[in-house]
Chain A
Amino acid sequence: MHVHRYERIWMTFGIGMLLVFLTIVLVAAFADNMNPPSDMMQIDPTKVASTPPFERPGLRSLGNGRYEAYYVARIFAFSPNILRVPLGSTVTFYVTSPDVVHGFNIAHTAVNMMVIPGWVNSATHTFRTPGTYLLVCNEYCGIEHQTMFGSLEVR
């Protein structure tokens, strides 16, 4: 099949651009270890309230400025609702749901994940800017979904 010379130039440019984008994605994934939350841990959604560590949601220190934060997202609130995080610390968020699907997004960070009943999802962020961060549920979960939010105090 004959392909016009200009079209060959255009397609080379287009596919070349895609390859550049793809290279950036792959370098970020493999060299910088930037991957979307893809946790494989499972949990019985009907027993979240009695399954450690989710029976006591909150922050745990691992030392050296590293923390783990355990969250339960349920209709229509996050627990903990307010989390105090020391400035400069690196926090890994572990979240699960005892009821329906929720979202977990801390505005102005890349912590953004789906919370699926039966699964634990996780994402890590280093807080370098002080302030009050807004945590919102960004997946529809029911009639009061718009009231489902929390905050993080980074000092």
Chain B
Amino acid sequence: MVREERQMRAENRLVLAHVYTATAAIVVGAVFGLLQAYSRASAISLPSTFDYYRVLTLHGILMALVFTTFFITGLALFVAYRQVPRARRLFVGWLGWGTMLAGTLMAAYEVLAGNATVLYTFYAPLKASPFFYIGATLLVLGTWVVAFEVFENVVFFKRTTGAPRLPLALFTIAATFVMWWVATLGVVAEMGLLLPWSLGWTSGINVMLTRMFFWYFGHPLVYFWIMGAYVIWYTVIPTRFGGKVFSDGLTRLTFIMLLLLSTPVGIHHEFMEPGISTTWKLLHTIMTYGVAIPSFLTAFAIFATFEIAARAQGRRGLVAIVGGLPWRDPVFAGAAYGMLLFIAGGFGGLINASYEMDSVVHNTIWIVGHFHITVGGPVALTFLGASYWLIPKLTGRALWTPGLALLQVQTWFVGMVLMSFSMHFAGLLGAPRRTAEVAYAGSHVAAAWQPYMIAAAAGGLLLTISIAIFALVAIGTLLANDKSEDMHVAFAEAAPGGEPSPPIFEHLFRWGAVALLLAVAAYSGPLGELLRHPGFLAPGMRTW
């Protein structure tokens, strides 16, 4: 008993290391976000030693790559360790975290030092210092180590229990990491081109090839975040109101569909580019519509979970069902507000995916509005809310001032609506993204964007206040040291006695192989086109 307790505490420390790294990233990233929003509204002008694009590179990396990834790797280890309890050594787990952190620090240092102002997409032929690419590669390889740790527990569970099915939470997180493995092959391949080039071993770079590898990874990166949030929506949120997972089989099917369809769609980020024919752009449009299907399944499942729990408690009618949900619980409220934002964000995504329609919004601030109302909204809110559940479970300390935590998710929701809607509107009028200020020497076209930029900055201020409250609650929870929290968790499952899910769903690694085949097939066309037009290599340069 004492040994098990000690084992759990050791595992908790590792998971906490991931969660705290994620927390630090979002706190610092938010301050940078605020600077950007103010700069774009022409309220401030950043100094040349800490210029806008350095800040933007760090914001993109800290938010899109560090915050999200560390939170999901932490969640994955938490689920794997809790659902497969056993005596284990944590060497591999710590190795993964250490590699990810070392890579992050190396890349971040290069950006701060001004050696890598290439934004988080590091598009060639902008040429960063080799350490930037090495750092980014280490961050990805570190996640592979974590993935290995998760898979090892999956295999151990299957071998030792002989159970026909993985527990649901473990299944969903394992599917997420199989998808991640397929996706990250793209960025590792890209690094294989960029690193020798930045070291001076090759004299030129095939720009379109690097972009294609990047977006092979870049779209499923988005789905990695969404799958992480879905893991929480399906297997944690129902426990906040005594609910059950609506359908075990459909949940597993949803994750398999996401695993299969996340990667073969990446060309939708390259609609406006030369060198890729319209045939392949259209094919990826169709596939992108397909990846909306598992999200429709999820929408149904989540609302069904709400309703079934309400009926079991004797509540009837829309008002009673919705009103009876635990809106004052910050864990639930975070995810639920996130779901509301995702309804808007999902439709925006369908617009962006619509091939010719993308030419109205491509690279305008609309796109920035879109990914803040998807990853900055649903994903970040779900993770922030889930932290109020996870940190107590990991430290044994009760959450300090749940009222403040609730205020935090509410202000984030309002701030995100204000910021991202303003960005959407300004984008429709043509305001570009990734631009330090958008006055354009008094152009009357640009003057119309300014009110929206000011509204976006106001939203950004609310968001930053919200994240300050988050930090306050997190630190307060540690300092208050109220050790009354029960560290044991139960993840949500389907109601017992339901129909068992088809056994074929359980072959996750084989589904991974199918996903890889699908991705290769979807990219064989565009990649073949590029290789048939080898053209000219670009020498690369430093334009900052």
Q: Please report A residues at the B interface, Cβ cutoff 8 Å.
A: 1-4, 6-7, 10-11, 14-15, 18, 21-22, 24-26, 28-29, 34-46, 75, 99-101, 103, 105, 107-108, 110-114, 116-121, 123, 132-134, 136-143, 145-146, 149, 151
Contact = CB atoms under 8 A, between A and B. Distances in A.
Contacts of B270: 114
B325 to A, nearest CB: 19
B247 to A, nearest CB: 8
Given A10-B300, A146-B435, A99 B541 contact: yes
A7 B250 CA distance: 11
Given A42-B533, A118-B538, A146-B435, A22 B208 contact: no
Contact of A101 (B207, B249, B275, B444): B207
27 contacts: A4-B247, A10-B300, A25-B282, A25-B357, A34-B356, A37-B274, A38-B273, A42-B535, A43-B536, A100-B125, A101-B126, A103-B363, A105-B363, A113-B359, A114-B272, A117-B207, A118-B535, A118-B536, A121-B272, A132-B444, A133-B445, A138-B364, A141-B126, A142-B126, A145-B434, A146-B435, A149-B443
Interface string B244-274: 0001011001000000000000000011111
Interface of B: 51-53, 56, 117, 119, 123, 125-126, 207-208, 211, 247, 249-250, 253, 270-278, 281-282, 285-286, 289, 292-293, 296-297, 299-300, 304, 350, 354-360, 362-364, 429-430, 432-438, 440-441, 443-446, 499, 501-502, 533, 535-539, 541, 543-544
Given A28-B356, A149-B443, 10 more contacts: A1-B250, A14-B293, A25-B354, A35-B355, A36-B355, A39-B274, A101-B126, A105-B362, A118-B208, A121-B273
Contacts of B297: 7, 11
A138 B123 contact: no
B311 to A, nearest CB: 14
A100 B126 contact: yes
Contacts, number: 214
Nearest to A108: B430
A11 B436 contact: no
A99 B12 CA distance: 50
B122 to A, nearest CB: 11
A8 B372 CA distance: 32
B424 to A, nearest CB: 16
A40 B505 CA distance: 42
Contacts of B357: 25
A138 B208 CA distance: 18
Given A35-B278, A105-B430, A40 B502 contact: no
A25 B354 CA distance: 6
Given A103-B363, A108-B445, A146-B438, A36 B51 contact: no
A108 B429 contact: yes
Given A114-B273, A134-B445, A136-B440, A105 B364 contact: yes
